[in-house]
Structure 1
Amino acid sequence: MRLLLAAALLVATPAFAIQPAPQAADEIIEGPGDQLTLRQEVVLDTDLDTAWSMFTTGEGAATWMAPVAEVDLRPGGAIRTNYDPAAAIGDPGTTELRIVNFAPKRILTLQADLSEVEADWLTDAIRAEADSFYNVITFDALGPGRTRIVSWGTGYRDDPDYRTMLGFFVRANRWTFEQLAAAVEPTPEVDALKAMAPLVGSCWRGQFSGGAAYDIMCVETMPGSHLRSRHIVRGAASDYRGETVYFRDPEAGIARFHYYTSLGAFSDGDIMLAEDGTLLFENIRHRTAEGSILDIYGTGRFDEEGRWVATTSIYADGAWPEPSTIVMKRIDCENWDAVEAGCD
């Protein structure tokens, strides 16, 4: 029933799609031998060009790294900053991150200059290995006005001194990402609800794989330019219903939704529109009637034949499994009342 429920959620939104949380958990990854890698992530409410410029231009870096910043973007160049707004680059207190290499708007590899750093975690043994520490930063556009940044800290070892150093950077990098997110001015709203227009005023049917269960969904407008979809799963042991309301959040500048089910479960989240027209339902957690929480990832789009194609994957055991797919076709049911009366 759990898998069937998740598949039903997929079409109830009409494509119940969840991206990883904007502030994903910090992760320490074990490598060959005693190697450790620190992975940290942030999702910014801005476009890829802006996110990239916040790391690679002095003007952008000064919005969050330090009030005084200078960037020489080239292999062998550097990001140099000073936390004293009255100081100049080169004055006492200037810090430097060496630019090892980069691929425009994709990847930026940095190395800190630790020669002038004094810290409890910076032992003589660690200082001697300073040339082996790198920070690889990747940039990934999630659609208009949405960018994922992942930081990969390499060179750590599974050793007590290195673990102390690692703990420092887990906290320091997370604080840095928080400063970055706070400095971002969200990209103006992309009207994701307009992309749902072909669904409105019609009912749709899709067959779940691996069984007799199928889903019927009808989408309609509501007062205030909101949308509503209602759906019912038939062919299972008992019918399962759900209702979703889609609306614009003017304060956040994005579209959002609330979803409720006949089983007592509910969900809420954001709606984004990818550059290729795919709808993304992000930052969502589905809460069951028993109190457990499901994180789900998925997409929704129209294919060349005008069918609604939705995919979904339930996060489990630290990974996103291969998504399942359901294809919804328009059917000759006049409205939701006709569906309730048996039309499918």
Structure 2
Amino acid sequence: MRLVLLSLLLAAPAFVFAQQRAIDKETIVPAPVAEVWRSWTTKTGIESFFAPQAEIDARPGGAFHIHFDPLAQPGMKGADDMRFMALQPMTMLSFDWNAPPSLPEARGQRTFVIVRLHDVDGRSTRVTLHHTGWGDGGEWDKAYAYFDRAWGNVLANLKKRHESGPVDWTDWMEQLRKMHAAPAAK
């Protein structure tokens, strides 16, 4: 009996260490699963809620390039070189992800996102998002805090897109144009 207790006590720190931090978000979208699936797996869908520009090739290994700043240099547009990792039609998609350009140390690595779709009542879809693969310390803590906020906004935009229509990126793009023009004006 003592040996069993000792084994459990020694194993406990390893179990705690093995637990990885993750971001978990959820929302109910007022649309059938097929519509929500298209929002995540087509260029038009992504551009309707996630970012003003995207390159989407919905297959394992296919492009999942999300350009938050389409006017930036290649590699600095956002999630420039991300890829779909797996797709289970109408059920699950996963992709790799990186930190924003403002966090170059963390940006050089990849994390992983899994999005699951669950039919609620034929007219609504529960969307869960699980983001894992975080490092420790340095910019990882900043990246984690950034995405803990950002994913809530992304899911809110997805819900809003299906409630009242696609995001209008006009003001966003105008702000980007001004930001990119500012250094040239000096």
TM bracket (short chain): 0.5 to 0.7
Is 2:155 aligned against 1:177?
A: yes
Larger CA deviation: 32-41 vs 97-106:
32-41
Task: Give the C-alpha shift of residue 68 in structure 1.
Answer: 2.6
Please, which runs of 5 or more residues in structure 2 have no aligned partner?
1-14, 165-186
1:67 equivalent in structure 2: 52
CA separation of 1:33 and 1:157: change in aligned 2, threshold 3 A: farther
Q: Which has the higher contact order (CA 8 A, sep 6+)?
A: 2
Give the Cα–Cα distance (whole angstroms) in 2 for the partners of residues 50 and 102 of structure 1. 16
The answer to whether the 8 Å contact 1:35/1:158 transfers is: no
Within the alignment, does 1:100 sit opposite 2:78 as a pair?
no
TM-score, with structure 2 as normaliser: 0.67
Identify the residue that residue 116 of structure 2 maps to in structure 1.
138
Q: Structure 1 pair 166/53, CA: closer, same or farther in 2 (3 Å)? A: same
- The alignment-based identity, stated in percent, is 22
Contact 1:110 1:135 in 2 (8 A): yes
User: For 1:108-128, what per-residue CA distance to the aligned partner results, in whole angstroms no more than 9, with x for missing partners?
Assistant: 1111255xx4224x53xx456
**Post-superposition offset of 1:94:** 6.3
**In the alignment, structure 1 residue 49 sits paired with structure 2 residue 34:** yes
Measured in 1, the distance between the counterparts of 2:68 and 2:42 equals 17
**Between Structure 1 and Structure 2, whose CA radius of gyration is higher?**
1
Q: Distance in 1 between matches of 2:84 and 2:152?
A: 21
CA distance in 1 between partners of 2:87 and 2:119 (Å):
17
2:3 match: none
2:101 to 105, 112, 118: 118
The 4+ residue runs of structure 1 with deviation greater than 6 A are none
- Per the TM alignment, residue 70 of structure 1 is displaced from its structure 2 partner at its CA by 2.9
Could you give the per-residue CA deviations for residues 207-239 of structure 1, whole angstroms, max 9, x where no partner exists?
xxxxxxxxxxxxxxxxxxxxxxxxxxxxxxxxx
Q: Secondary structure at the match of 2:22?
A: strand
Measured after TM superposition, the shift of residue 101 of structure 1 is 1.0
TM-score norm. by structure 1 comes to: 0.38
In 1: Cα distance, 2:125 partner to 2:41 partner: 15
CA deviations 1:222-278 (Å, max 9, x no partner) are xxxxxxxxxxxxxxxxxxxxxxxxxxxxxxxxxxxxxxxxxxxxxxxxxxxxxxxxx
Which string of whole-angstrom CA distances, capped at 9 and with x for unpartnered residues, describes residues 8-54 of structure 1? xxxxxxxxxxxxxxxxxxxxxx9643521211111101100001000
Aligned residues: 147
User: Does structure 2 conserve the Cα–Cα contact (< 8 Å) formed by 1:101 and 1:109?
Assistant: yes
Report the structure, 1 or 2, having the larger helix content: 2
Relative to its length, the structure with more strand (as a share) is 1
Separation in structure 2 between the aligned mates of residue 53 and residue 180 of structure 1, nearest angstrom: 11
The Cα of 1:91 is off from its aligned counterpart by 9.8
Shift of 1:144: 1.7
Separation in 2 of the partners of 1:43 and 1:31?
32
* Structure 1 vs Structure 2 CA RMSD: 2.8
Distance 2:75 2:136 in 1: 37
Query: Could you report, residue by residue, the CA deviation over 1:294-331 in whole angstroms, capped at 9, with x for unpaired residues?
Result: xxxxxxxxxxxxxxxxxxxxxxxxxxxxxxxxxxxxxx
Alpha-carbon separation, structure 1, partners of 2:75 and 2:24: 33
Residue 156 (structure 1) aligned to one of 129, 134, 150? 134
Q: Whole-Å Cα distance in 2 between the matches of residues 103 and 31 of structure 1?
A: 31
Summarize the Cα distance change of 1:31–1:172 in structure 2 as closer, same or farther, 3 Å threshold: farther
What's the CA shift for 1:105? 0.9
